[in-house]
Amino acid sequence: QITLKESGPPLVKPTQTLTLTCTFSGFSLTTSGVGVGWIRQPPGKALEWLALIYWDDDKRYRPSLKSRLTITKDTSKNQVVLTMTNMDPVDTATYYCAHSEFGSGSYHFDYWGQGTLVTVSS
Amino acid sequence: QSALTQPASVSGSPGQSITISCTGTSSDVGSYNLVSWYQQHPAKAPKLIIYEGSKRPSGISNRFSGSKSGNTASLTISGLQAEDEADYYCCSFAGTSTFVVFGGGTKLTVL
């Protein structure tokens, strides 16, 4: 059974750096083809893909946010960490992590975490 | 990185069928048979209901079906039920640069 859960601060100040952790179970990020992605959703708005990390440590970023995003993995802890620098109120959103098998040609997210709401405000 | 275009809202009565369109470009929907669809109920995480254009994950009702023509993908829900009332999002692989793009979402109301 695959599960994912996001954790991180519910409130960050403008210009600060956000660090979110995705802790997962039921799969390994050392398995060929597996990836974990981050997707966010501002209140009342659409989903927006942010980043993805593959089993082989290859990484992909949303082009418009690439300079602010870093995705890393810790396979020993079954965790993926996303950092976003220079936070702004427009970054207020629910942040989701999700499992995929992009590396196997399956470009969809089949298991999602429950999401964590991050508010950016002074 | 433009989002895929979906109608903001659609509605239908119980038992009817509805179709939600998802229009992209020749760089995403038109180039790959890699459109996925997600159902999202209020305050819940998205749930995969269609992948690779027309495939259903295990446990998803066959009332949900997907198709594609040119740069437009479609999700059809037949035999509408009250529990189908939710937001629906399409998503497509968009090549190695843009990578992934989501649609703007469609709110389905079951009358």
**pLDDT tens per residue, range A36-93:** 999 999 999 999 999 999 999 999 999 999 999 999 999 999 999 999 999 999 999 9
**The pLDDT value given to residue B42:** 96
Query: How much of chain B, in percent, has pLDDT values that exceed 70?
Result: 98
Which are the contacts of A103, defined by CB distance < 8 A and separation ≥ 6? A32, A33, A34, A35, A54, A55, A56, A58
Please answer yes or no on whether A106 and B51 come within 8 Å at the CB atom: yes
Work out the mean pLDDT of chain A and round it to a whole number: 96
What pLDDT is stored for residue B53 in this prediction?
95
At B98, is the secondary structure helix, strand, or coil?
helix
- CB within 8 Å: B91 and A114: no
DSSP state of A57: S
Quickly state the pLDDT bin for B3 (edges 50, 70, 90): confident
Report which of B89, B97, B67 is spatially closest to residue B4, judged by C-alpha positions: B89
In DSSP terms, A7 is beta-bridged to A21
Cα–Cα distance, A51 to A61 (Å, whole number): 4
Yes or no, beta carbons of A47 and B98 under 8 Å apart: no
Q: What count of residues does chain B have?
A: 111
Percent of chain A at pLDDT > 90 equals 95
CB atoms inside a 10 Å sphere around CB B35: 29
* pLDDT tens profile B25-70: 999 999 999 999 999 999 999 999 999 999 999 999 999 999 999 9
Q: Which of B37, B55, B99, B102 to mutate to test the interface with A (most CBs of A within 10 A)?
A: B99
Mutate: best of B4, B75, B90, B100, partner A, most A CBs <10 A: B100
Whether the CB of A60 is below 8 Å from some CB of chain B: the reply is yes
B62-96 as b/e: b if 16+ CB within 10 A: eebbbebeebbbbbebeebeeebbbbbbbbbbbee
> Is residue A46 a contact partner of residue A25, using CB atoms and an 8 Å limit?
no
Q: Does A66 contact B at CB distance below 8 Å?
A: no
pLDDT at B2: 65
Q: Which residue of chain A comes nearest to B93, CA vs CA?
A: A107
Q: Residue B98 — pLDDT band, cuts 50, 70, 90?
A: confident
Give yes or no for a contact between A116 and A50, defined as CB atoms under 8 angstroms apart.
no
Average pLDDT over chain B reads 96
Residue predicted with more confidence, B2 or A91 = A91
- CA-based nearest distance A12→chain B, Å: 21
What's residue B1's pLDDT? 56
How many A-B residue pairs are in contact by the CB < 8 A criterion? 62
Considering only CB atoms, B103 lies closest to which of A46, A52, A110, namely A46
Chain B residue closest to A114 (CA)? Answer: B45
| B49 touches A: beta carbon within 8 Å | no
CB B37 within 8 A of CB B88: yes
